[in-house]
Amino acid sequence: MSTLLPPSPKPPTTSRRKRGFRPLVDLPVLTWLAAAVMVALIHPLVPAPRWLMLHLVLLGAISNAIVVWSNHFTHTLLHVADEDRRGEQVRLSLLNAGVVAVVGGVLSEIWLITLLGATAVAVAVGWHGWTLARLLRTTLPARFGRSVRYYIAAACFLPVGAVFGVLLARSPEEPWHARLELAHAAVNLLGWIGLTVIGTLITLWPTILRTRISDRAERDAARALPVLVVAIGAVVAGALADQSMVAAAGLAIYLLGVGLIGPSFVDTLRRRPPTTFPGWSVLVGVIWLVGCLIALTVGIGTASSWTAAGSALTWLTPYLAVGFGLQVLFGALAYLVPVKLSRGPSRVRALNAVMDRGGPLRITVTNAGLLVCVLPVPSVVRVLASMMVMVALVSWLVLFVITVKTARRLMRAEPGAPSVAAAPGVAGTHAGAHTGRPAGQTAGFAALGLALIVLAVATGVAVDPAAAGAGSGATTAADVQPTGQVTTVDVTAQGMRFEPSTITVPAGNRLIIRLTNTDTDVHDLVLDTGQQSGRLARDGTATIDVGVVGRPIEGWCSMLGHRQMGMVLHIQVTGLPASGGSESDRMESGAPRADDHEHATNHGGSTHPEDSTGDDSPSAADDLDFMAKPPADFTAHDAVLPPLGKAKVHRRTFTVRDVVSEVAPGVKQAQWTYDGQAPGPVLHGRVGDEFVITLVNRGTVGHSIDFHASALSPQKPMRTIAPGESLVYRFRAKRAGIWMYHCSTMPMSAHIASGLFGAVVIEPPDLPKVDRSYVLVQSELYLGPQGGSADAAKLQAERPDAVVFNGYVNQYDHRPLTAKVGERVRIWLLDAGPNRPSSFHIVGAQFDTTYAEGTYLLRGGPGGSGGAQSLGLQAAQGGFVELSFPEAGDYPVVSHLMIDAERGAHGLVHVTR
C-alpha cells in the first residue's frame, strides 16, 4: 500500500502570480485576528467584549481559514484543478461582509442588521458546501475523499448555527437563552469547526509530522463521521427539547466519535512525535478539545438548571476558542503558509524556520498560562497569566508577517525556482524541509516558557499575598509546656459565620485549622497572632498552623463588614495555670478580642479593602475640609442624563473593579465600583425596553448586582459571583421611575457604602420634553484611612462623615450644573443610602412638578398654581422635580436635612440669560 498520498498528476492551471500570496483570500484571517487583539487590549471600553472577541476569532478568522483551506484540500485530494478562483473570492467577500454586519448589528443592538449579516454568512458557507459537494459528485472516487465529506457536513451545520445566533440576538429569557446558546455552540464549535478540523487532520496530521498515513485512517474516518453528526444532533435536540441529559449524552457520543478516529491519530504520533511548532500546536489543540468536551459533558450532565448549564458553557468557551481553535489554526497555518508561498525546497526550509522561531517557548507559555487561568487562582495571577498567553499568541501574527516578507524577498532573489504544492501528504516529501531543532534547545525553550509563567504567578502572589495565603505568624505558647500532641479542627465559612465558632484546645497542644469556604462570597480567617488563611473563593481551602497554644486566641473574617456581622472565631484553652489566659495577659500581649470593634486589623500587609473598624485608627475624615477646593484639573461626575436612543434592547457590560478615588479635596478612599466609577453608569430606557447586562467581577471579593427596575426571582441573576467570574442579567423594564441598582452581596450596607450602586431611568410613556435633564444620586461616605476602605464601625453606627451628590463632596459648588432663564429643567433624584434619607431642595426656586416612586405628586406644570419646595426620599427611593429658573444667578442645591447639606450634599445651578 502506498505510504504517502500521491501528488496531483497535473497541477492546477494557474498563473505564477496566483500560486502565492493572495490578499483577498489570505488577509482576512490576519485582519480578524488583529481585530481580536485590539479588542482584548481595550476591552473595558468596548461593549460585550467577551462576545466580540470570541466571534472575531471563531466567526471571523477561523471561518475564513476553513473556507479557504477546505476548498484547497478538496481540489488537491480529488485531483482536480481549481478553476473557480473568482467564485471563491465572491464567497469570501460575502462571508466577511456578513461577519461585519453581525458584529455591527449586535453591538448597535439593531436586530435587522444582525439578521442580514447572519443570512450572508449562511449563504456564503452554504454555497461553499454546495461547491464541494458538486466536486465530490462529479469526480472519480479518491482514497481520501472522505475528508471532503467532513467539509460538506460541516458546511451544513453553520447555517443552522446562524439561525440560533439570530434568535439569541433577540435576547430570549431564561432558560431559552441558555438552551439556544448550547445549540448554537454545538453546531458551530463542534459542527462547523470541529468536523472541519477532524476531517483535515486525517491527512494533514501525518503530513505535518512527515510520516506515512496510518493504514486504518480511512476506515476510522468513515466510521467516525456519522457518529459525530448524530452526536451534534443529539446535543441540539436535547437543548431545544429541554432535556439536559440528552444534550450531555450527545456530548459523550461526540467524544466517542473523536475516540473512533483517535487510534490512527495516536498511531501516527507514536511513529513520529512532533519536533516543530506546527506539530506541537496541533497536538495540544486536540488535547484541549478532548479536555473541554469532558468538562462540558460533566457540566451539562450535572447542572441543576439550564442557567447552571449555561454557566458551564460560558466558562469553557474561551478555552475551546483559544486552547483548541486558535492553536489548531496556528499550527496548521504555520505548516501550510510556508509551503504555499515556497517555490523550492530551500525556500520551504527557510520559511518553516521563520514560523518555528521560539516554538517550544510559545507552546509552553500558551498552554501553561491557560492552565493557570483554569485553576482557582487569585484574579491578579489570572490577569498576568492571560497577558502572557496573549503575547505568545500575538507572536504568531508577527511571525506570519515576517514569513510573507521573507517569501517575497526569496522570490525576488531566485525568480526561477520550481514551485511546491501546498497539499496534505505531498509536502512531507520535501527533502529540504525544516526538521526541528536539537532536543536540548527544545527543552531549554520549554523551560524558559514555564519559568515565565511561574514568574507571572509569583508576581501575582506578591501583588496580592493575602489571596495566596501569605501571612505572618506569632507565638501563641506563652509559658506552657508543649505536649507534643496535635489538635486538628475543620472549620467552614458560610453565611457570615464560622462553623464551629468556638474551638477548645488543651493547653500545650499544637493547633491546626483546616478552613473551607463553602459560601458564594470570599472569606478569610485572621487570628490575633497575625496568622491568616488568605482570601478564599468558593470551595477554597487553606490550612493555618497556629502552633502550640498557651492562651485564648480570637479570629475573624477581615472582609469589609463581615466581622461586624458576627463572623468571628473563638479559640479557648483548657488546662491553663490559674494565671494563664487572663484578660490582663491578653491586654499585655496586645491581642484584641474578636468582638472588640475599637481595633483596626490589617495583618499581612494586604493592600486590598480590609475590615476597617477603628475610632483609634488614622481616618481620612481628619483631612476632610468642606471649604476646600478641588484641584484645578478636577472633573465633576457628569450629571447629564444620557440621551435616549432608538434601541429597544440595551446591552451593557458592567465590570466590578477595585479603585482608589478622590471623594473630597485631599481625601482618597479604596472603592468597589461598577466600571471604575461611583455611582455606576446611568442606564436610560423606556417602559418595555429590555436590558441585557453582563456583570464581570474583576475585584478581589465576591460581588453581585440587583436591579430594582427588574421584577424576577433574585436567586439566579442576583447571585454573588467570585472574582474572575461573570453572569448575564436580563430584565424587561415594565414600570417607569428612577430605579436603584446595587451590589446585594452581604454585608449589603458595606458594598453600597463602598461605591457599588447606580441608577436606571425608565421614562413614563407620556413624559414631556424638557431643555435639560440631570441625574443626582445621593449617598454617604464612611471614611476609613487615607486610601483605605470604608469604616465598617461607623457604618454600623450610622455615623457618616459626609453625604454627597454623585460621589464627591460639594463637587457641583466648584463645577456647577448649568441652565438658562426660562428653560425647563428636570432633575432625576435617587437616594442610594445606604442609610440616610434626603429632602431635595433648590434655594431660590420652586418645583412646579414633582414625581416620586412611579407617580406624580404634583403636576401643575409651568402654568399651574401649585408648587413644591422639596422632594423627600427614603433610601432606595427616587423621582424627579421640574422647574424653570426665573432669573440669572447661582441657585444652591441641597438636601434640606441641613446637617447633610453642611457635610457635602450641596451644589449649585448656574443660571444665565
Q: What gap in Å lies between CA 198 and CA 262, rounded to an integer?
A: 10
**Residue 584 pLDDT > 90, yes or no?**
no
Mean pLDDT of 321-330: 94
- Give CA separation, 630 vs 200, 205, 802, 814, in Å: 64, 65, 16, 8
**Residue 379 pLDDT > 80, yes or no?**
no
Element (H, E) at 674: strand 667-674
Q: Mean pLDDT of all residues in the chain? A: 84
Q: What gap in Å lies between CA 41 and CA 34, rounded to an integer?
A: 11
**Residue 343 pLDDT > 80, yes or no?**
no
> Could you tell me the pLDDT band of residue 400, with boundaries at 50, 70 and 90?
confident
The answer to whether the CB of 797 falls within 8 A of the CB of 816 is: no
**Residue 353 pLDDT > 90, yes or no?**
no
Q: Of 326-330, 619-623, 816-820, where does mean pLDDT reach its minimum?
A: 619-623
| pLDDT cut 70: percent of the chain above it | 87
Mean pLDDT of 11-37: 67
pLDDT for 369: 93
Mean pLDDT of 491-501: 87
**Residue 216 pLDDT > 60, yes or no?**
yes
DSSP string, 361-394: HHHHHHHHHHHHHHS---HHHHHHHHHHHHHHHH
pLDDT for 621: 86
896 annotated as belonging to a binding site for a ligand: yes
The answer to whether the CB of 533 falls within 8 A of the CB of 465 is: no
pLDDT for 305: 78
> Could you tell me the pLDDT band of residue 820, with boundaries at 50, 70 and 90?
very high
Q: Of 393-407, 439-453, 733-747, where does mean pLDDT reach its minimum?
A: 439-453
156 annotated as belonging to a binding site for a ligand: no
pLDDT for 421: 46
pLDDT for 11: 40
Helices marked H in 414-475? 439-463
The residue that leads in pLDDT, 786 or 818, is 818
703 annotated as belonging to a binding site for a ligand: yes
pLDDT for 427: 40
Q: What gap in Å lies between CA 504 and CA 483, rounded to an integer?
A: 15
DSSP string, 197-217: HHHHHHHHHHHHHTSPPPTTH
pLDDT for 424: 52
> Could you tell me the pLDDT band of residue 236, with boundaries at 50, 70 and 90?
very high
pLDDT for 577: 66
910 annotated as belonging to a binding site for a ligand: no
Element (H, E) at 842: strand 838-842
Q: What gap in Å lies between CA 57 and CA 170, rounded to an integer?
A: 22
Q: What gap in Å lies between CA 840 and CA 895, rounded to an integer?
A: 5
**Residue 806 pLDDT > 60, yes or no?**
yes
Beta strands at 871-873 and 838-842: parallel, antiparallel or unpaired: antiparallel
Phi, psi for residue 637 in degrees, rounded to 5: -60, 130
Cell 470593634 belongs to residue: 597
Mean pLDDT of 383-390: 90
The grid coordinates listed for 490 are: 475543620
Q: Which of 280, 286, 460 lies closest to 365 in space, CA to CA?
A: 280
The residue that leads in pLDDT, 125 or 541, is 125
Gap between the terminal Cα atoms of the chain: 95
pLDDT for 612: 46
Q: What gap in Å lies between CA 548 and CA 474, rounded to an integer?
A: 10
Cβ neighbourhood burial of 736 (10 Å; 0-12, 13-18, 19+): buried
Q: What gap in Å lies between CA 197 and CA 194, rounded to an integer?
A: 5
Q: Which of 818, 840, 831 lies closest to 894 in space, CA to CA?
A: 840
**Residue 793 pLDDT > 80, yes or no?**
yes
Mean pLDDT of 775-781: 96
Q: State the maximum Cα–Cα separation within the chain, in Å, rounded to a whole number.
A: 102
- Give CA separation, 503 vs 124, 203, 508, 552, in Å: 68, 65, 14, 10
pLDDT for 245: 94
> Could you tell me the pLDDT band of residue 582, with boundaries at 50, 70 and 90?
very low
**Residue 862 pLDDT > 50, yes or no?**
yes
Mean pLDDT of 38-63: 87
Mean pLDDT of 530-541: 79
**Residue 596 pLDDT > 70, yes or no?**
no
Phi, psi for residue 677 in degrees, rounded to 5: -140, 150
The residue that leads in pLDDT, 596 or 115, is 115
- Give CA separation, 699 vs 49, 147, 384, 537, 694, in Å: 18, 47, 15, 12, 15
Mean pLDDT of 290-305: 90
The residue that leads in pLDDT, 831 or 621, is 831
pLDDT for 585: 45
pLDDT for 484: 83
pLDDT for 912: 94
Sign of torsion over alpha carbons 442, 445, 447, 449:
negative
The answer to whether the CB of 410 falls within 8 A of the CB of 347 is: yes
Mean pLDDT of 843-849: 94
The residue that leads in pLDDT, 586 or 89, is 89
Q: Of 22-26, 67-71, 455-459, 736-740, where does mean pLDDT reach its minimum?
A: 22-26
The residue that leads in pLDDT, 843 or 305, is 843
- Predicted TM-score (pTM) of this structure: 0.60
The answer to whether the CB of 784 falls within 8 A of the CB of 790 is: yes
Q: Of 257-271, 451-465, 723-737, 805-819, where does mean pLDDT reach its minimum?
A: 451-465
What is the set of domains in the chain, with CATH numbers?
25-460 (1.20.210.10), 470-605 (2.60.40.420), 649-912 (2.60.40.420)
Q: What is the CA 667 to chain-centroid distance, rounded?
A: 32
The residue that leads in pLDDT, 431 or 267, is 267
Q: List pLDDT tens digits, range 192-215.
A: 999 999 999 999 999 998 888 888
Q: What is the CA 668 to chain-centroid distance, rounded?
A: 28
Write the secondary structure of 544-567 as one string of H (helix), E (strand) and C (coil). Answer: EEEEECCCCEEEECCCCCCCCCCC
> Could you tell me the pLDDT band of residue 881, with boundaries at 50, 70 and 90?
very high
User: In this structure, what is the dihedral angle of CA atoms 44, 46, 48, 53, given to the nearest 10 degrees?
Assistant: -90
The grid coordinates listed for 557 are: 473574617
Q: List pLDDT tens digits, range 104-155.
A: 998 887 889 999 999 999 999 999 999 999 988 888 777 777 889 999 999 9
